[in-house]
Structure 1
Amino acid sequence: MSASPIDLAIVGGGLAGGLIALAAHRANPAMEIALVEAGDVFGGNHRWSWFDSDLGPEGYALMGAFRAKTWTGGNEVRFPDLTRHLSADYRSLDSRDFDAGLRRLLPQSALHLNSRAQSLTADRVTLEDGRTIAARRVIDCRDPAPSPDLTGGWQVFLGQHRQMDAPHGIERPVIMDATVEQIGGYRFLYLLPLSNTELFLEDTYYQDRAQLDAPALRQRIAEYCDQNGWQGEVVHEETGLLPVITGGDFAGYRATLERDGVALAGARGGFVHPLTSYTVPIAVRNALAIAAAVGRMDGAQLADFLAARAREHWRATGYYRLLGKMLFDAAEPQERYRIFERFYTLPEPLIERFYAAQSSPLDKLRILSGKPPVPVRRAVAALLGKGAPLVQGDNS
């Protein structure tokens, strides 16, 4: 490839990397950008969702570039002792539409698919096939590796887009249906009515081990459909295994990944919601901040800028890690649903701010007030304990 350096190379074409590329291109149209992705599509095989209140005007302008599904009838949750209809509208973006949007909106020269990075330095990306991309600024947005420096549990899920033979009767998104059997941890079904006969169903678990038994989850979704009288076929499927971070040595984690002059962003840089895995609000805010700053910073300054944002984000999300410790270390696995059941009795604006990782001090007091949904003795032990290292075992 040409030895003449481009302005910005972004390695990793998932949600974070793709949004950074689009935001930077819009803010700096003359900037030459490369979005480098190991796979053959941008965004992988995922679905990202967010509440209508999560983004400001600039964020909606950015996400409005993609064809997302919008529901204006609110959403609901279901628990053994609580069913609640909430008023917040909901949006969801399929990674296939994310990929199509990036291909349409970014210059052709910026799109580098099937390009796995072998090494990154402050001024160069070297690919496994021997090609190199010289760049004045490099951002690493690749997936994070499991780390013994962080502690927590895992959110494991399998989602299916099903075409039903008849209308399914689901009128609005069901964020959590936890009336199902609790197996191995907190379990719920997540339902998105894509049309009156199309339904996205995701079987989700907050569990201690990094293990995904895909055949078992497929069978449980099929049983859930049978119980609801739904017949049809699977037209698309996705799986996920995400860390739920409850603590650890963040500086130690970043030290294993940092390279001089290379900026870290996305989940690799620590820009996640440690408890819910709702990433869109955080990814959008970060993309807009980078787009506003990148034109006046060199590579080293950009790396320092994002490192400071990551440290602040870690500090600001400490409360959610504390709640995660309560979930994994204080509650018995089959009783974890009680924590979310109680949470969903709280005021709706508080719930929305929680998912956007923007809880106010009063919100935090409100969440912890009243009778705790876990035994006090176990709660104290959880807060004093270190937690389990976030390292993956064998997955089936």
Structure 2
Amino acid sequence: MSRRVIDLAIVGGGLAGGLAALAVHRAQPQLRLGLFEAGESFGGNHRWSWFTSDIGGAGSELLTPFRKTEWATGYEVFFPGHARTLGSTYCSLASRDFDAALRRELPQEAIRTRSRVAELAPDGITLDHGERIPARAVVDCRDFEPSPHLNGGWQVFMGRHLRTGSPHGQKRPIVMDARVDQHDAYRFVYTLPLGAEELFVEDTYYADAPVLDRSALSGRIDRYCDAMGWHGDILGGETGVLPVITGGDFSAYRRGLGEPGVVRIGARGGFAHPLTSYTLPFSVANALQLAREATLPGEQLAALFEKRAHDHWRAMRFYRQLGRMLFDGARPEQRYRIFQRFYRLNEPLIERFYAGRPTRLDRLRVLTGKPPIPIPAAVRALLGKGSPLVHEKAR
């Protein structure tokens, strides 16, 4: 890539950045792009999953180039007092397939892996070895940064990719299996049958602290797989710690991200589902919006997405309230009861809930009926502020 000004410098080659680059290139192929990723591949080591109802037709079309696994037969949930099969089509995308599609679809000059960005400014970026790249607009798509300006809890997880020695017999995803010891958190195991003899098994915790104990989680996955009769070779895995945002000063958080004039989208920009930590529906929507407006001057793009971020924050208020009740109103070992009750509701409501598009009636329905936690505890949680989202290191 030459030193002349490029149109868009997209920093961060994860889900938000990769989809943004793809959408802009497809809609505005005349624009010069750079997709800058610190690692050796786009998407890192990760797996993203979603329901088809989470995105519209344009979003589905954007995802067409990616090799995905889809389950049209629905998915299952299991709780100590409730089990259910739901009919929504579920999809999953692995980072290796994400990387392969981007390398195939994007111009070669746009692909900048092993390019760690040290500084971002509205008119360009500086790589850690000193190279300065001028740009008409800079788009920050990096991962979420913990911040004392935001409050909440954490979603901690470890996933394992397993090849079984014989057919495992699991026909559809298990999105939540909470029939497991809770270990001072809302714990569930998530399973994707990727093939007749291939599984992805993830142990997940809604925990008060961002502590990822690899040894403990690995042992618990071992025991779960033993109980399910799944044995075989480990092909790989992933770990993660994601924020579950329940409140805070969003304006202060956005100001703390850096110099004004940079376009900020993705998880760092605040575009995530506060309760589930899902980012894919919002990454798709932001990528399509960026593609429509990509020819605007950088400062106008930044202002557009600044407003979009605050609109998203206001729209997600209901989920942050639920998150406060989850973390501050329910005892950790009883948190599963909230989800157990939720999965008794009608399926269209559940679909809208995950997509971040609940109706007023949906909100009312979620909150009415026999409460899964004591009402005084729920009131105290709603009136409280919660704990700052400050990170700790994994063990």
Tell me the matched-pair count: 395
Alignment of 1:192-231 (within 5 A): 192-231=192-231
Letter in 2 for 1:300: E
Number of the residue aligned with 2:375: 376
What SS does the corresponding residue of 1:267 show, helix, strand or coil?
coil
TM-score (norm 1): 0.99
What SS does the corresponding residue of 2:385 show, helix, strand or coil?
coil
Q: Distance in 1 between matches of 2:356 and 2:95?
A: 23
Number of the residue aligned with 1:337: 336
What value does the CA root-mean-square deviation take over the aligned residues?
0.8
Number of the residue aligned with 1:282: 282
Letter in 2 for 1:217: L
How far apart are residue 278 of structure 1 and its match? 1.8
Contact 1:160–1:238 (8 Å) recurs in 2: yes
Q: Distance in 2 between matches of 1:260 and 1:327?
A: 34
Letter in 2 for 1:305: L
Contact 1:73–1:172 (8 Å) recurs in 2: yes
Identity %: 58
Alignment of 1:1-396 (within 5 A): 2-295=2-295, 297-396=296-395
What SS does the corresponding residue of 1:312 show, helix, strand or coil?
helix
Contact 1:258–1:264 (8 Å) recurs in 2: no
Letter in 2 for 1:344: Y
1:115-135: per-residue Cα shift (whole Å, max 9, x none)?
111101111110001112111
Gaps of 5+ in 1: none
Which segments of structure 1 move beyond 4 Å, counting only runs of 4 or more?
none
TM-score (norm 2): 0.99
Q: Distance in 2 between matches of 1:172 and 1:199?
A: 11
Letter in 2 for 1:377: P
How far apart are residue 260 of structure 1 and its match? 2.6
How far apart are residue 361 of structure 1 and its match? 1.1
How far apart are residue 258 of structure 1 and its match? 3.2
How far apart are residue 72 of structure 1 and its match? 1.2
How far apart are residue 144 of structure 1 and its match? 2.3
Contact 1:76–1:85 (8 Å) recurs in 2: yes
Contact 1:9–1:34 (8 Å) recurs in 2: yes
Q: Distance in 1 between matches of 2:31 and 2:393?
A: 43
